[in-house]
Each structure stands twice: as C-alpha cells, then as structure tokens.
Amino acid sequence: MGGGQGAGSLALPPQTSSQIIIIGGGLAGVEAAWQAARRGVKVRLYEMKPRRFSPAHQSPLLGELVCSNSLRADSVENAVGLLKEEMRRLGSLLLAAAAATRVAAGKALAVDREAFAAYLTEALENEPLVEIIREEVTELNADQTTILATGPLTSDALAGALARVTGQEHLHFYDAIAPIVYAESLDMSKVFRASRYGAGEDYLNCPFTEEEYAAFYQALMAAEQAPLRSFEEPRYFEGCLPLEVMAARGYLTLVYGPLKPVGLVDPGTGRQPFAVAQLRQENREGTLYNLVGFQTKLKYGEQERVFRLIPGLEHAEFARLGSIHRNTFIRSPGLLSPHLNFLEHPHLFLAGQISGVEGYVESGAMGLLAGINAARQAQARPLVTPPRATALGALIHHLTNTETKDFQPMNVNFGLFPPLPGRTPKKLRGAAYATRALEELEDWQRQMEEGG
C-alpha cells in the first residue's frame, strides 16, 4: 500500500475486532461496504481514484459504470432480473441508487451514470462507519479481514501481490473483443444473408474462395500485433482465442473454427464457399455488425488492412476495432469457499469481477455477499451462503464448482441453476425459477435473522 499521509497500511495499523478493510470502490466494493456498515461493522474502504485511474475509469466518484449505463433486464423471469430482485430484498445500495437514478430503457434497468455514481459516493461518505481512503493498495495482508474488490483492471502491483497469495497459475489477465463494422460500408453484392443449415439466427456471410482465403491467411500471419506489457503473459479463454492465435495453430484451423463454411450455400455460386466469415447484427437498427470470432490483438491499422481482405469488406468502415481486454480474475473453483473467502486464507475475501463473475450486477452481487460474510467474520459469527436455487447461490456455485474444466467468468443465467423438477414448458420456466428462488431466499433470510 502506498505510504501517503493518513493512508494507513494493510499491515498497519491493526484492525479492531469489528472492522474490515475493503480494497476497491467500484460496484462490488461499494456494495460490500454498505452491507458491512449496515451490520454495525466499521469499514476502511481504499480507492485509488482520483490519484490513479485504470485505463477505463474516468470519474473520481465511487461505483463508476465504465461502459454501458444498463444494468440489463428488469423482469424476474430473466436471470439477471431475478438477481437484482434478490439483491433488492437484501437491502442493496446499488439497487437503491439505480431506482433513484433510473432512465427510460424499455425492459432494461438503465441509469444516469453520473447520478448513479454520485448517489453511491454520497451514501458512503455520509455513513459514519465507513472511512474512505483515496490510496492505491499494493500489498495484501491475508491475516486481516479484507475484501479484495479491485475489478478487471486491478492495478499491476496489487495483481502481483494477489498472485503471490493464490499462485500465479490461478490468476488470469485477459479476455478478447471483436471488431464492429458499419452495415452501409459492406459490399452486399458479395455478402449474403443466411443461417447455418437454414436454422437459427440469421448472419451476414462473407464467402471466400480458396485463393482469397490464402491471401487473407498470409496477411493475418504477417500482421503486427499490439505489444503486451512485460509481466503479462496472456492466458486466453479457449472459447475466446484471438483470431491470430488460433490461425497460428495451422493453415486450416480457421476453416474448422470461426470461418467454417458448413451448412452455408452462396446464392451467387450455388455452392458452399471454401470459408465464410460471419457478421452478427450488433444493434436493433441493423446499422452495425460484429465479426464473429474475430477478437484480436493486432494493431489497429493492421486490423483494417487485413480485415478488408475479407470478401465484401473491401471498403469496410470500422465502428470499433478488436482488442484484448485486461480482465484480472481468479480461477476460483478450488480456491474460494462458498462464503467468498479463500480456503487457504480465510480472512481474505474476493468480490466483483475478480472473483470470476462477469457484469456490473453480478459484480455487485458478489460484493453484497462478501460484505455480509466479512462483517460476520469480524463479529465472530458463522459465515453464510445463499441457497443454490437462488440467483446468488447459482453464481456462488459457478465460482466453487470444481468440476468445471475450463473455468471462465460468467454472467448469471438459468443454465447455472439446478434444473426444475418435472417438465415445465419453456414459456413458464423463467417464472418457475423465480418463484422457487424467491421462496428459498425468504427462508434463508429468516434463518439468518433467527440464527443471529
């Protein structure tokens, strides 16, 4: 931790018994601080802004939404809507802020991002049990009750400290995003609209001849990649590999992967092309399309040059170019307990994106649970975990399921829930998951209140 005046350090001064430390004042850290304070526990909340900003953060306020202003679907028949309802019932500060700063967004819950962050900041500044310290933390002390909630862009020094606690092999640093093109810049005399085998979602398809593929492949292999920082050795999700990493595995790897032509017939030739690049509609208006599977770390100029070799994209204008996200997260199964503390370091809790969930709401949800449990630990009370059939429990299950082979950060979805008993028609499943979850949540809340 930086040695700024009055900043304290994780090693100094020692905590009083009912005090916890939270590192990171983003969505998870803010919610955790609120939950702990509501339980009468003192919180020292460390936030490095405005002294230091990650590459995505811009505002000095706590609880900043770095990209979209949407907290996604509102209905409880949708898994993320259900998660929000569970959080509301557990007294979530994030959901109170969202209700107070909501903007019109159809079936989604979207907020005015400035007002949202201002609401959260003010709520914590006015909370006497919370002390906000604007310092970057660089060291961890696993002997003090601490919640690490520094997010996908955790500062380098602290990521290094975490790697020393967990073992380097359990800490991941990246995910990857694909470029987006403007529909009007496509050559529709070459591109055709179709779904594979005529079933499912429609794509725009860019057909390659063998010669066109060979030229594209050569250019891709020769293109310059954006440099990585020295300490960061990339560990990509197997399902989300950069295009050039996949291509380097062999000349035809792409033809069996993201450029596979099977099930697609070019109406121009009446035949299956040698390879096909697929474009998926990105916005409701149909003005933007993303290049499916084209996540990449090529330099921007190189991306434009190489991707314009795709038939139909010769004059493509790019709304967004591909990049590799820093996404610091832990391979949590086998490391984290269902209470969100480390099995081997029970005083150290994780919350937010770094715990292995994906998304604003999911990050906040893990903050909520970590806040409850860190507070309970500080008060020498037993730790708790929500029932498996709740959205909160489903996420915890994802983080602790040691049977997962290739662990990846995950948005909440009904696939993570235990199956419903019997056969429920598809249309009624969302409501059935929600009814079961909210009943179990109510029982759990009652038990917590009765059990002390």
Out of 10, 20, 22, 28, name the contact with ligand FAD by CB under 6 A. 28
When asked if residue 243 is in the footprint of ligand FAD (CB under 6 A), the reply is no
Helices 27-38 and 113-125 meet at what angle, rounded to 10? Answer: 30
For residues 322 and 296, is the Cβ–Cβ distance under 8 A? yes
Could you tell me which residues come within 8 angstroms of residue 197 by beta carbon, excluding any fewer than 6 positions away?
263
Task: For residues 264 and 131, give the distance between their C-alpha atoms in angstroms, rounded to a whole number.
Answer: 60
Q: Is the Cβ of residue 22 or residue 434 nearer to ligand FAD in the bound state?
A: 22
Q: Is the Cβ of residue 137 or residue 243 nearer to ligand FAD in the bound state?
A: 137
Neighbours of 433 (CB within 10 A): 25
When asked if residue 54 is in the footprint of ligand FAD (CB under 6 A), the reply is yes
- Is beta strand 171-177 parallel, antiparallel or unpaired with respect to 323-330? antiparallel
Region of 37-45, 48-56, 81-89, 293-301 interacting with ligand FAD (CB under 6 A): 48-56
When asked if residue 175 is in the footprint of ligand FAD (CB under 6 A), the reply is no
- Is beta strand 203-208 parallel, antiparallel or unpaired with respect to 275-281? antiparallel
When asked if residue 283 is in the footprint of ligand FAD (CB under 6 A), the reply is no
- Nearest distance, CB of residue 204 and ligand FAD, angstroms: 24
Out of 22, 24, 393, 398, name the contact with ligand FAD by CB under 6 A. 24
Could you tell me which residues come within 8 angstroms of residue 354 by beta carbon, excluding any fewer than 6 positions away?
148, 149, 150, 151, 152, 154, 162, 328, 329, 330
Region of 40-48, 109-117, 178-186, 213-221 interacting with ligand FAD (CB under 6 A): 40-48
When asked if residue 371 is in the footprint of ligand FAD (CB under 6 A), the reply is no
Q: Write out the binding residues for ligand FAD, residues 298-357 only, by CB under 6 A.
A: 325, 352-354
Out of 296, 332, 363, 400, name the contact with ligand FAD by CB under 6 A. 363
Region of 91-99, 145-153, 243-251, 282-290 interacting with ligand FAD (CB under 6 A): 145-153
- Nearest distance, CB of residue 412 and ligand FAD, angstroms: 11
When asked if residue 155 is in the footprint of ligand FAD (CB under 6 A), the reply is yes
Q: Is the Cβ of residue 51 or residue 446 nearer to ligand FAD in the bound state?
A: 51
Q: Is the Cβ of residue 154 or residue 205 nearer to ligand FAD in the bound state?
A: 154
For residues 152 and 329, is the Cβ–Cβ distance under 8 A? yes
- Nearest distance, CB of residue 202 and ligand FAD, angstroms: 25
Exposed/middle/buried for residue 219 (C-beta within 10 Å: 0-12, 13-18, 19+): middle
When asked if residue 17 is in the footprint of ligand FAD (CB under 6 A), the reply is no
Q: Is the Cβ of residue 68 or residue 287 nearer to ligand FAD in the bound state?
A: 68
- Nearest distance, CB of residue 122 and ligand FAD, angstroms: 16
When asked if residue 152 is in the footprint of ligand FAD (CB under 6 A), the reply is yes
- Nearest distance, CB of residue 402 and ligand FAD, angstroms: 23
Handedness of CA 113, 80, 180, 245 (dihedral sign): positive
- SS3 state at 75: coil
- Nearest distance, CB of residue 221 and ligand FAD, angstroms: 28
When asked if residue 436 is in the footprint of ligand FAD (CB under 6 A), the reply is no
DSSP string across 323-391: EEEEEEEE--TTTB-TTSBBSS-TTEEE-SGGGTB-SHHHHHHHHHHHHHHHHHHHTT-------TTSH
Could you tell me which residues come within 8 angstroms of residue 350 by beta carbon, excluding any fewer than 6 positions away?
147, 148, 149, 330, 332, 336, 340, 341, 342, 366, 370
Could you tell me which residues come within 8 angstroms of residue 425 by beta carbon, excluding any fewer than 6 positions away?
none
Q: Which two tokens stand for residue 145?
A: 């009750």
- Is beta strand 146-148 parallel, antiparallel or unpaired with respect to 348-350? parallel
When asked if residue 58 is in the footprint of ligand FAD (CB under 6 A), the reply is no
Out of 77, 85, 136, 302, name the contact with ligand FAD by CB under 6 A. 136
Out of 141, 154, 295, 400, name the contact with ligand FAD by CB under 6 A. 154
When asked if residue 196 is in the footprint of ligand FAD (CB under 6 A), the reply is no
- Nearest distance, CB of residue 192 and ligand FAD, angstroms: 32
For residues 181 and 318, is the Cβ–Cβ distance under 8 A? yes
When asked if residue 134 is in the footprint of ligand FAD (CB under 6 A), the reply is no
- Nearest distance, CB of residue 142 and ligand FAD, angstroms: 16
DSSP string across 262-283: TT--BTTTTB--SEEEEEEE-S
- Nearest distance, CB of residue 44 and ligand FAD, angstroms: 12
Neighbours of 418 (CB within 10 A): 13
Tell me how far apart the terminal alpha carbons of the chain are, to the nearest angstrom.
35
Task: For residues 328 and 55, give the distance between their C-alpha atoms in angstroms, rounded to a whole number.
Answer: 13
Q: Is the Cβ of residue 80 or residue 204 nearer to ligand FAD in the bound state?
A: 80
Region of 90-98, 146-154, 267-275, 389-397 interacting with ligand FAD (CB under 6 A): 146-154
Binding-site ranges for ligand FAD (CB under 6 A): 23-29, 46-49, 54, 56-57, 66-68, 136-137, 149-155, 158, 325, 352-354, 359-360, 363
